[in-house]
Amino acid sequence: MEECICSDCIQQEYFRDLIRRNGNTSECSYCKQHKKTINFNSIIEEILEGIEFIYDDPANGLGYVDGEYVKGNGDIFDTYDLLVDELEFGGSPAFEDILNSLPNQLWCKKEFYGLDPAEERIFTWEQFVNQVKYKTRYFFIQEKSDINKYSPFNKPYEILDEFITAISSFDIVEKIKKGEFIYRARLDNDSIYKTPEKLGTPKPENCLKPNRMSPAGIPMFYGSADKKTCVLELGNKKGYYTIGKWTPVKELRILNLAKKFSFNINESTLKRSPHS
Ligand SMILES: [Zn+2]
């Protein structure tokens, strides 16, 4: 009988998710529970593919002097240490079988001397942030500076493609439909605002200073889904608070950055990304 494994018998969220999505109900060879399982060999294929995406045999590229490999990009592991220390398979009841199913060899980062793909992406993201914060806020596509000739990216902004691919799996784009309300409040020392023009978004010619999200000259509407938040936003000052109730004239798509999500650059993200 072929070995099967369930999502409880493996820790990595990537595999747990894979088993939940693609598994068939049968007895898990490890915990003996009847639940969704996947063929053990298919997991091994995935693990090996993942490992080989990041790691290689040091004999394939690392210098060898006086009976030792020279220091490259990170440590050298045998398969046991790689599985336990780097990939955290140690807690799985299938660990022995995983270990025995993989080649028994040494492993080091495939980028023998350079940044590995995850480090490369973090570095590129930092460059992009630096560029739009301090160098060229709007014209970053024309920016001439190249990263380096070994990078998978030609320009820092190209990281955005991968970022969008990765975050599009999170449910953070929401809709505000026609007829739904958004509140906006303004404060004045001695009068209330009586017209939408006064209470609404200022005209471009009045936007002389940059605000939290809006650069100088570009009007933006600051509003809230409830009245209390927009009043609290104005601070605890004396004066007249005017609250307006607004509704969009067409459906709006909103990026909800207040929603919690974590963004993890790992092998599974990279496997699906266009640059890898
Ligand atoms: Zn199990």
- pLDDT tens, 106-143? 999 888 887 777 778 888 888 888 888 888 877 878 77
Give percent of the chain with pLDDT exceeding 90.
41
Residues 182 and 92 in one domain: no
Residues 50 and 71 in one domain: yes
Residues 199 and 98 in one domain: no
Residues 155 and 92 in one domain: no
H/E element, 250: none
Residues 104 and 43 in one domain: yes
Calculate how far, in angstroms, residue 22's C-alpha sits from the geometric centre of ligand 1.
Answer: 15
- What pLDDT band is residue 264 in, cutting at 50, 70 and 90? low
Calculate how far, in angstroms, residue 85's C-alpha sits from the geometric centre of ligand 1.
Answer: 22
Calculate how far, in angstroms, residue 93's C-alpha sits from the geometric centre of ligand 1.
Answer: 8
Calculate how far, in angstroms, residue 87's C-alpha sits from the geometric centre of ligand 1.
Answer: 19
pLDDT for position 268: 46
Alpha-carbon distance 243 to 227, whole Å?
Answer: 7
Residue 95 lies in domain: 4-109
Residues 70 and 122 in one domain: no
Calculate how far, in angstroms, residue 100's C-alpha sits from the geometric centre of ligand 1.
Answer: 18
Q: What is the dihedral of CA 61, 51, 150, 158, to 10 degrees?
A: 180
Alpha-carbon distance 72 to 98, whole Å?
Answer: 27
Q: If we measure between CA atoms, which residue out of 30, 5, 27 comes closest to residue 15?
A: 5
pTM (global) more than 0.85: no
Residues 21 and 63 in one domain: yes
Task: Give the ranges where the chain is alpha helix by DSSP (H).
Answer: 13-22, 40-54, 79-81, 95-101, 117-130, 159-167, 196-199, 227-233, 267-272
Residues 213 and 123 in one domain: no
Instruction: Quote the number of domains for the chain.
Output: 3
Helix, strand, coil abundance in the chain, percent, nearest 5? 35, 20, 45
